[in-house]
Chain A
Amino acid sequence: MTVSTAEMAQARVRADAEARAPLLEVAGLTRRYGARIGCADIGFDLWPGEVLGVVGESGSGKSTLLACLAGHLAPDAGRVLWRDRDGRARDVLAIPEPERRLLARTDWAFVRQNPRDGLRMGVSAGGNIGERLMAGGARHYGRIRGAAADWLARVEIDAGRIDDTPRAFSGGMQQRLQIARNLVSGPRLVLMDEPTGGLDVSVQARLLDLLRGLVREMGLSAIVVTHDLAVARLLAHRLMVMKDGRVVETGLTDQVLDDPQHAYTQLLVSSALRL
């Protein structure tokens, strides 16, 4: 098990280094709310194994951007190209709805700020994890339950809690369960909206550590929306700073935080309590 995980990780590192094309290519993505701009003319590439942080204050458009990417909101303009497992570029906004839904249940994952929005609160922890596997076509009960137990362990939840519902879990445990539910299908892209948002600082650290390990071991690509620059620093390889619906600065995470160029980024960084 350990060996195969390590071999898998090595294979992923090699594959990422040799990747010749981005996993996701976003261009001109725009969403308006009437006359108001949600997000405008957003463009970026996301490469395999890369974590992109999207930072900015409330109302900067970062959640609108994520919702457009996830298919929860229809953009007014723009293109999102997704490289599928066969290496074909697919226009995510143009593929038929059933296919997009299948994508959302298998290759893409979406971790919400509030675990109650991303979990089924009346269903057992094991059921929450197994449901996504079944949605992807798995039918063998023993294997589904085995995978659920395995994932509970990976997110550091006692296997004895497999039949409990998330209602009985702490906020930190609920968030870890939501992550397990999302990652069990082996997605290639994870979208996260303030994943550490509602958690105590000590719980945040544990979750950050967990996410970093999973990103590395599974070779995940991720887009993480956060207003917390400390979270962005520890999780993201690259940052995109948004203000009033537009990207004002982009670059390597520590470069953006340590040598910010745009007036707004300088203000954000200098306003942070401690980095």
Chain B
Amino acid sequence: MTRAVSERPAGAGMIAVRAVAKRFTLHNQGGAVIEALRGAALDVRAGECVALTGASGAGKSTLMRMIWGDYRIGAGSIRVAGVELAGADPRTVLALRRDRIGHVSQFLRVVPRVPARDVVAEPLLALGAPREAARARAEALLARLNIPPALWGLSPTTFSGGEQQRVNVARGFVHPFPVLLLDEPTASLDGANRATVLDLIREAKARGAAILGIFHDADARAQVCDRDVDVGAFRP
């Protein structure tokens, strides 16, 4: 399979986006075509945090979803850790997600009834980590993010928005992924928890992670991001 180490062109980042375009065709709404992005390009290097900026609807989430492999890449090239995602088969994308791309989405999507500690430990279990070690690591992270131990055994579907967000953050940081995609990781958090998440981001940068984030919180962005990429420039 596509496990072979791919060569990254000199100067290209861990995330390398080139000439990416995306359009949506809505077949059941008269075949309406929505042009979302054109000519998108960016690089994120190891140890760097880059912010996607732009007005609501500019295509920040669309671009991030293509890098996560959730949206198909209409045209152009997206390489993550040297692996081409345009036209990649599901196995390639899943292999990347298993050990190279971590993702903190805005919304928590889990099987109801699975305890928070197992939701967080799951990425480690998928890598074959022993259950006890994975749980211990998950609990340490939940504790750091101020989720009370009484909640660790409960399903996060019953948690508040802020608690769910922190469970999501813990899940994204539980394994030292070399690439991290963060969609509003501090959105519904209070001061102390927000500071913890920003610390996690700084630590990830220090260990060499390449991070791409969407932060509406300008102050948070200023604290951790090295530069901005305005997605508005990629409007068709």
Which A residues fall within an 8 A CB radius of B?
A: 2-3, 5-7, 9-10, 12-14, 17-20, 47, 50, 202, 205-206, 208-209, 212, 216, 233-234, 237-238, 251-252, 254-255, 258-259, 261-263, 266-267, 270
Contacts and interface: CB of A to CB of B under 8 A. Distances in A.
B65 interface: yes
Contacts of A206: 113
Contacts of A267: 27-28
Contacts of B191: none
- Main SS of the interface on chain B? loop
A216 B125 contact: yes
Interface residues of B, number: 30
B70 A254 contact: yes
A3 B71 contact: no
Nearest to A12: B128
Interface string B22-35: 00111110000000
Contact of B111 (A2, A205, A259, A266): A205
A263 B28 contact: yes
A231 to B, nearest CB: 10
A258 B65 contact: yes
B222 interface: no
B128 A237 contact: no
7 contacts: A2-B130, A2-B132, A3-B130, A5-B131, A252-B93, A255-B71, A258-B65
Given A6-B131, A13-B127, A258 B71 contact: yes
Contacts of B132: 2
A238 B112 CA distance: 21
A238 B28 contact: no
A9 B69 contact: no
A238 B90 CA distance: 7
A266 B27 contact: yes
B128 A205 contact: no
Interface string B75-93: 0000000000000001101
B194 to A, nearest CB: 28
Interface of B: 1, 3, 24-28, 65, 69-72, 90-91, 93-95, 109, 111-114, 125-132
A252 B125 contact: no
A258 B65 CA distance: 10
Contacts of A13: 126-128
A209 B28 contact: no
Best-surrounded residue of B1, B24, B69, B111 (most CB of chain A within 10 A): B111
Given A7-B130, A255-B69, 16 more contacts: A6-B129, A6-B131, A9-B125, A9-B128, A10-B129, A14-B128, A20-B1, A47-B91, A206-B113, A209-B114, A251-B90, A255-B90, A258-B70, A259-B72, A261-B25, A267-B28
A154 to B, nearest CB: 14
A263 B91 contact: no
Contacts of A252: 69-70, 90, 93-94
A237 B111 contact: no
A237 B64 CA distance: 20
Contacts of A233: 109
Contact of A209 (B25, B27, B113, B125): B113
A17 B95 contact: yes
A255 B114 CA distance: 24
A208 B113 CA distance: 10
Given A47-B91, A267-B28, A261 B111 contact: no
A124 B53 CA distance: 62
